[in-house]
Each structure stands twice: as structure tokens, then as C-alpha cells.
Amino acid sequence: MKKRTHHCNELRTLHVGQPVTLAGWVHSRRDLGGLVFIDIRDREGRTQTVFDPSELAKPAFELASSLHSESVVSISGKVQQRPTGTTNPKIETGDVEVLVGELEVLNHAEVLPFPVDDPEVAGKVNEELRLQYRYLDLRRPEMARNLKLRSKVATAARVFFDQQGFLDVETPTLFKSTPEGAREFLVPSRVHPGQFYALPQSPQQFKQMLMVAGVEKYVQIARCYRDEDLRADRQPEFTQVDVEMSFIEREDIYNLIEGLLQCVWKTALGRDIPVPFRRISFQEALNQYGIDKPDTRFGMELADLTEEFRSSSFKVFSGAVAAGGVVKALNAKGLAGATQGQIETMTEYAKSFGAKGLAFIKVEHGEWKSPIVKFFSEGEKSALTRKLAIEEGDLILFAADQWLTACEILGKIRLYCADVLKGLGKLSIPAGRFDFLWVVDFPLLSFDKENNRWYSSHHPFTAPVAEDIAFLKTDPKKVRGQHYDIVVNGVELGGGSIRIHQSEIQKTIFEQILQISPEVVQARFGYMLNAFRLGCPPHGGIALGFDRLIAILCGSTSIRDVIAFPKTAKGTDLMTQSPSPIEAKQLRDLHLQLLRP
Ligand code: ASP
């Protein structure tokens, strides 16, 4: 094989007349007017080559004429200007072509299961087929671009952290089972019969131990594993940019991550993003947007009407207030024409949160159309008009329930209405707009009604806000955690917290608040409590979802498009056919026996 002299996105007019050798894949072949044109593609791009029977030995010309797409070839020839009128401004090498003198076929490709050369056709190929033949799918220039961007961003992030004095430390993949969070993947130990490792859900405990170890600034682009029932855009293994620092406060993390994201946006998109990012409390986020990761690129904010309806004769509303709840509403501007199906979808959302139904008003032909309006007083109506800026063509939606539930119902409906309005061309969000924000002051604990116990909103290592520690035992719901989430365009990019670094407080959280028995605490976390008694600096950190970050930068809706070898929504790798059964001997070696169904 002749060594290539250029890659396939390199030749320009200035190379005309030069002898060159290119190697790559047959992207497309056209037979025109006795000539054969082959676009040769490599990772960088493509170049048109011309096979002219009058310049080439017959067997070489015939070989060129018979080549299937995606065969791997090496060609040598001379660069020439394309004749006027035949240039291709869509590709960077479009002014020139290579007149081939020699062709070597390095590998003949058989007929492909799907085409690689046409983004439109390839984009419509069933995803299972793409995943089964991932090596073909990744050849598509669109996918190659994603891989390149991912690599570039990872490098930029590593350089950024290095410049800030961070140490990149690898932490184990074989960890210990601590079944508090999501379900874990377990790995049986051959050497220790009946014992298991677990794959880490995140390097959380190790990074905290690195702080006790004096590392001060840790970073790792770390693989994490969660054996969850997969939701649409989740993967059982995923990558985080994982960070931990000592002797810091929340502000230090905000500064660091704002700097990182500035660097990443500049590297990937050439864009300058303004900092500092807006900060919004959990309370405010829920109150205004009904969600703890608000998309602030459009308004349609929730209004509170609790006071206005406290003594309303409409009992559904006044009753909710009397029961300690709230009345909230939003104005889906211009959506009075919502279809029956759309109203039903929204009603189902409300019901999924335990509501009995969904109250709404359509403002059409100067009239408020709704069975509930007759119960409203003039005062209530004018309060609604004022607070929601009601106009002809609007759709008003209500939730009357406990505060969190009412907010969450309307939060979900707000996003749904925004999608519908976008589809109707009544709401437009400029492409390339990025609304970053920090969500802060989350409650440290949430109450699980079913199991009648408190659990950590983030994870059990999150420190309470100092002035709230006094309420830990007396009024846990009042305690705010030093937890923060970074959100962009309604997507949670990551989250973290300042940690507890005193053994006693950590023990109280485990045993008295989370009600984990002292024996279990000792077995699972004893080493941490010990470490916290042997010189532990105050510390905190954050983790950013790297796959999600890259998907946002690539403008992809699915993280599968930015992971080289992702699994399906059912957790299978269709290319290698994994998971797969193992042999009886392997099971015996691991001291395992399968239950027969
Ligand atoms: N370990 C946490 C997570 O994976 C992030 C953090 O607190 O740093 O969500």
C-alpha cells in the first residue's frame, strides 16, 4: 500500500498539478460520459477522483467501474482544477479533483445494509439497524463530527482543569455495594465466594476520600453505572465530568463551572457565553416554572391565585386552600383553539400527579368558555385578567392542590403547551440560544409518604445550610441543603453540593434522619465516618453529565448520537449482542447458580 500524502479534506486549487496519494472509503460512484467519478472519503472529508479510460489501463478502469460503496481504496494521481461549471461549493475540496493513475483496492465492501453517503436517507434508517452496524453508522460524516467534537471538548476540559491546578485521578470500577441510590450492577467475586463488587454509580465516595487524602482539587472524566429501568434517553453506563475541591464554598464551584462552560462553548461552538449565570432558588423555580430545571427561554410563568380564591364560592379552589394548598394558573397564550385530544393529554398529566381533573378556560369570541367560570365573582375574574394578562385567544389552565403538586402539574403542562405552540408557529425560540442557570437552596430532605420516611434530595453526603442545622431533628423539611444544579434550556447538566465533613453530623443524617441502622451504617459507611475523624478538610464538588453536554453542543436530541457504542433503551448492545448467556463452568467458577424460571 502506498502511503497517503494528503487526507481527503486537504486538496485545494494551490495543489493543482501535484502528484498525490489518497486513501479512504468509496463514498459514492458515478459513471458519466465514459468517465467514472469516485468520491473518496476519510475521517476529514471527501475528494472527487476521476477515472478516464484513455489515461488508465483497462483492468484498472474496469476495477473502478465495479467498486461498491464503502470499499477501501488507495489512489494515486494528479490534482487538477475541475472544469468550469462542475465545481461543488458544498464540499471544501470542491474546486479540484484527482485524475487517477493508479488504483489499489485494499478491501472490497459487500452491499451495505444501509447507505452511508446520504444524510437524509441514513437519518431515516431504523436505529436498531444503525446500532447493529455501528461501525458503518459512525462512518457517516454527521456521526464522525459528533465523535470529533466530543474528543475536542474532553481535551479542552482536561486542559482547563490542569490550568486550574486539578489532579486527574482514576478511581476504581470495582466498588462496594451501597444500595441507597439507584440499583447497582453487581460483579461476583471468584476469589471470595458469595461476595460481590458493585460498579460505581459515581465516584462520590472515592472523590471525598481523595479530599481527606489531601488532593485538594480532583477531576476525572469518569464512567458511571446505574442499573435503572431505562428511560428514553438514559444509558446504563454514562460519563460524568466529576469534580471535587477542598477549602471552598458554593461560590467557588459556581465560578469554576462557569469558567469551564465558557471554555467549552468557545471550543465547540466558537461562542462567548456571558457569566455569571442567573441563580434561582428551588422554591422560586417551582413557583414560577413548576419544575426544578426550568426552561427560561420562554415566559408562560405560573401565577399564584391562592389569596384571590381563599374564600371563593368555587369549592374546588377554596377547598384546596382550606386544606393548606394553593391555587395556581398559567396562561398558554394563543392556545384557546387547543383540541380535545390536547386537553385530554394535559388532563392525564394532572391526573398522574393525583389531581381529579384539569380546570381550564378558553378565551374565544370575547367569551370565557368554561364550566367553572359561573362560580367566579367579578373580583376573582378581574384578578385573573390582571395576573395572567388574559386576552382573546388565550387558554388558562389551573391547578389547585398542595404547593409542590400544583406547581409540578402546571410545570409539566407549561412544557407541553410550549411544544404545541411551537408546532403552531405561535412560539419561537431562536436556535442557538442558551439559557444557563443555577438552581440553589434545594430542601436537604424529601419525605417519602409510602415508606413514611425522609430521604436525601441529592445524596446523604450533602451538607445542610449552616443556619438550618438546628432544625435537622425538629423540623427536617425546613432544612436547606448546600446543593446546586446547573441547568441549560430546561436540561439538568449536572449537580453537586458542599459535603458534610464532620463525622457526627454525617452519622446523625444516616442514623437519625435516614433511619439506617447503626450496624448497616457501620458496614457501608464506617470507613468514611472514620476518615472524617482523621483530618478531613471542608470540601464540595459537582458532576456534569458529559454525554448530555455533548448532545447539547451537537444539537442532538439523543445522547446515543454522541456515544460511540451506546446501548438500546432495553440496555442491549446490538453490535456485540450483549448481555449474553455464560457457560456453566463460568457460573461454577463464580460460585453461582441460576434460578430456573
Ligand atoms: N456524585 C453526584 C452525582 O453523581 C454529583 C456530586 O455530588 O458531585 O450526581
**Cis status of the peptide bond prior to 371, with omega within 30 of 0:** no
Pocket test for ligand 1, best of 256, 458, 484 (most atoms within 8 A of CB): 458
Which atom of ligand 1 is the closest one to the Cα of 201?
4
**pLDDT computed for residue 472 by the predictor:** 87
Ordered alpha helix ranges (H), 72-175: 119-124, 127-132, 134-137, 141-163
Please give the C-alpha separations between residue 179 and each of 88, 197, 200, 237, 525, in angstroms, as whole numbers.
58, 12, 11, 17, 11
- Let me know if 235 is exposed, middle or buried by CB neighbors in 10 A (0-12, 13-18, 19+): buried
Q: Residue 384 belongs to what H/E stretch?
A: helix 378-388
Q: What is the mean pLDDT of residues 21-46?
A: 95
Q: For cell 378556560, what's the residue?
A: 361
- Using the predicted structure, report yes or no on whether residue 147 has a pLDDT greater than 90: yes
CA–CA gap between residue 208 and residue 45 (Å, rounded): 45
Compute how many other C-beta atoms are within 10 angstroms of the C-beta atom of residue 342. 16
- Using the predicted structure, report yes or no on whether residue 387 has a pLDDT greater than 70: yes
Q: For cell 410545570, what's the residue?
A: 411
CA–CA gap between residue 289 and residue 413 (Å, rounded): 10
Please give the C-alpha separations between residue 57 and each of 37, 52, 241, 279, in angstroms, as whole numbers.
16, 9, 56, 71
Cβ atoms 346, 413 nearer than 8 A: yes
Pocket flag, ligand 1, residue 239 (CB < 6 Å)? no
% of residues, the chain, pLDDT over 90: 90
CA of 242 to the centre of ligand 1 (A): 8
CA angle 59, 62, 66 (to 5 degrees): 135
Within 13 A of 38's CA, how many CA atoms are on the CB side? 30
Q: For cell 407541553, what's the residue?
A: 416
Cβ atoms 487, 293 nearer than 8 A: yes
CA–CA gap between residue 444 and residue 284 (Å, rounded): 16
Nearest to 494 by CA among 273, 219, 299, 286: 219
Pocket flag, ligand 1, residue 542 (CB < 6 Å)? yes
Q: What is the mean pLDDT of residues 453-459?
A: 89
What tens digit of pLDDT does each residue of 215-229 get? 999 999 999 999 987
Q: What is the mean pLDDT of residues 497-516?
A: 94
CA–CA gap between residue 107 and residue 550 (Å, rounded): 33
Q: For cell 453505572, what's the residue?
A: 225
More confident residue, 453 or 579: 579
Overall size of the chain counted in residues: 597
Helix-helix angle 518-531:204-212, to 10 degrees:
40
Pocket flag, ligand 1, residue 202 (CB < 6 Å)? yes
Nearest to 198 by CA among 175, 223, 225, 226: 175
What tens digit of pLDDT does each residue of 233-275 get? 789 999 999 999 999 999 999 999 999 999 999 999 999 999 9
Pocket flag, ligand 1, residue 494 (CB < 6 Å)? no
**pLDDT computed for residue 506 by the predictor:** 95
Question: Atom 1, ligand 1: which residue's CA is nearest?
Answer: 204
Question: Atom 6, ligand 1: which residue's CA is nearest?
Answer: 496
Q: How much is the mean pLDDT over the chain? A: 95
- Using the predicted structure, report yes or no on whether residue 529 has a pLDDT greater than 90: yes
**pLDDT computed for residue 452 by the predictor:** 85
**pLDDT computed for residue 118 by the predictor:** 81
Pocket test for ligand 1, best of 240, 250, 456, 493 (most atoms within 8 A of CB): 240
What tens digit of pLDDT does each residue of 341-352 get? 999 999 999 999
What tens digit of pLDDT does each residue of 191-200 get? 999 999 999 9
Question: Atom 7, ligand 1: which residue's CA is nearest?
Answer: 496
What tens digit of pLDDT does each residue of 152-204 get? 999 999 999 999 999 999 999 999 998 777 899 999 999 999 999 999 999 99
Nearest to 236 by CA among 559, 543, 593: 559
CA angle 119, 125, 127 (to 5 degrees): 115
pLDDT-based confidence at 573, cuts 50/70/90? Answer: very high
**pLDDT computed for residue 597 by the predictor:** 63
CA–CA gap between residue 457 and residue 80 (Å, rounded): 65
CA–CA gap between residue 239 and residue 547 (Å, rounded): 6
Q: Are strands 196-198 and 186-188 parallel, antiparallel or unpaired?
A: antiparallel
Q: What is the mean pLDDT of residues 431-452?
A: 91
Q: What is the mean pLDDT of residues 472-491?
A: 94
What tens digit of pLDDT does each residue of 360-385 get? 999 999 999 998 999 999 999 999 99
**pLDDT computed for residue 450 by the predictor:** 82
CA–CA gap between residue 220 and residue 233 (Å, rounded): 23
Q: For cell 385573573, what's the residue?
A: 384
DSSP 79: E
What tens digit of pLDDT does each residue of 84-143 get? 999 999 999 999 999 999 999 999 999 999 988 887 887 789 999 999 999 999 999 999
Pocket test for ligand 1, best of 204, 210, 221, 442 (most atoms within 8 A of CB): 204
Pocket flag, ligand 1, residue 211 (CB < 6 Å)? no
Q: pTM for this one? A: 0.94
Nearest to 10 by CA among 95, 101, 99, 117: 95
- Using the predicted structure, report yes or no on whether residue 79 has a pLDDT greater than 80: yes
Q: Residue 224 belongs to what H/E stretch?
A: strand 217-225
Pocket flag, ligand 1, residue 146 (CB < 6 Å)? no
CA–CA gap between residue 237 and residue 223 (Å, rounded): 7
Question: Atom 4, ligand 1: which residue's CA is nearest?
Answer: 202
pLDDT-based confidence at 449, cuts 50/70/90? Answer: confident
Q: For cell 436540561, what's the residue?
A: 491
**pLDDT computed for residue 433 by the predictor:** 94
CA of 305 to the centre of ligand 1 (A): 37
